[in-house]
Chain A
Amino acid sequence: QVQLVESGGGLVKPGGSLRVSCTASGFIFSDYDMSWVRQAPGKGLEWVSSFSSSDSYTNYADSVKGRFTLSRDNAQKSLFLQMNSLRAEDTAVYYCARFIYSYATFDFWGQGTLVTVSS
C-alpha cells in the first residue's frame, strides 16, 4: 500500500535552516507529482510546494518563494524540502503528499513532521 514517511523536523532558530525528507513506498515514485502541505498549530492547511514528475517543474507558495527549495531523488524514492531563512510563521507540521495534477488533489498523505522555529 502507498506509504509516505516524513522525517527531519525539529526546533530551529529564526533565520536558520532545516531540511525535511519524505520517503515513499508502495507505488512507482517517479511516475507521480509530489507536494508539501503544511499546517500551523491549530490552523488550516496551506499548500507549500509541488514537483512535477513529467518536466521537473517546481512551484512554490508566495510565502516561501526564494527561501524553500524542493527536490527529489527518484532512485531513493525520496522528496526533500530545504528550508532557509526560517521565520516563526513557518512553524507547522509539514506533510508530504502525492499530488494528482489533473484533479489538483492530494490522494495520499504522510503522517507529518513538526518544524518549530523559535529562539
Chain B
Amino acid sequence: QSVVTQPPSASGTPGQRVTISCSGSNSNIGRNSVNWYQQLPGTAPKLLIYSNNQRLSGVPDRFSGSKSDTSASLAISGLQSEDEADYYCSTWDDSLNEVVFGGGTKLTVL
C-alpha cells in the first residue's frame, strides 16, 4: 500500500482532456515537489514532469502538471492514441526518508 494514492485507471477519447490525480500527505506531497512518469507498454518509465509542473525537454506541451497542498495532478490535453500508458507520480517522503511512488494509473484511449 503506497503512501501516495492514484486512481488505478482513467480513460478518454481522442482529442479529450484527461486528468490523473495523486494524493498524499504533509510528509510527502505537502512538503516536496511531485514528478510524473509515463510507462508505455513493455518499456521503461520515462520522466515527463518534474518539480510539479516542469516539462522535461522534448515532452509535448499537451502534458502539464500542478500541485496544491497535499495533492497533485497530471493533465493531458488533446489526447492521442499513443498516450495510452501507465502513469506514475512520485515524491520524497520526509518521514520514510525515501522516494515514494503512487500505485500508477492505467490510461486507456477509447
Candidates B50, B56, B88, B98; contact of A45 at CB < 8 Å = B88
Question: Nearest chain A CB to B5's CB is how many angstroms away?
Answer: 11
Q: Which of B17-55 contact A (CB under 8 A)?
A: 32-33, 35, 37, 43-47, 50-51
Residues of A near B56 (CB, < 8 A) are 107
What residues of chain A have their CB less than 8 Å away from a CB belonging to chain B? 35, 37, 44-47, 50, 59, 61, 95, 100, 103-112
A-B contact pairs, 26 of them (CB 8 A): A35-B99, A44-B2, A44-B101, A44-B102, A45-B37, A45-B88, A45-B101, A47-B98, A47-B99, A47-B101, A59-B97, A59-B98, A103-B35, A103-B51, A104-B92, A104-B99, A105-B50, A105-B51, A105-B90, A106-B37, A106-B45, A106-B47, A106-B90, A109-B44, A109-B46, A109-B47
In the complex, per-residue mask of B77-110: 1 if CB is within 8 Å of any chain A CB, else 0: 0000000000010111000011111111000000
Bound complex: CA of A64 vs CA of B95, how far in Å?
18
**Contact B44 A111, beta carbon cutoff 8 Å:** yes
Question: Nearest chain B CB to A65's CB is how many angstroms away?
Answer: 11
Give chain B's interface residue range (CB within 8 Å of chain A).
20 to 34
Residue of B nearest to A96 (CB): B44
Residue of B nearest to A98 (CB): B47
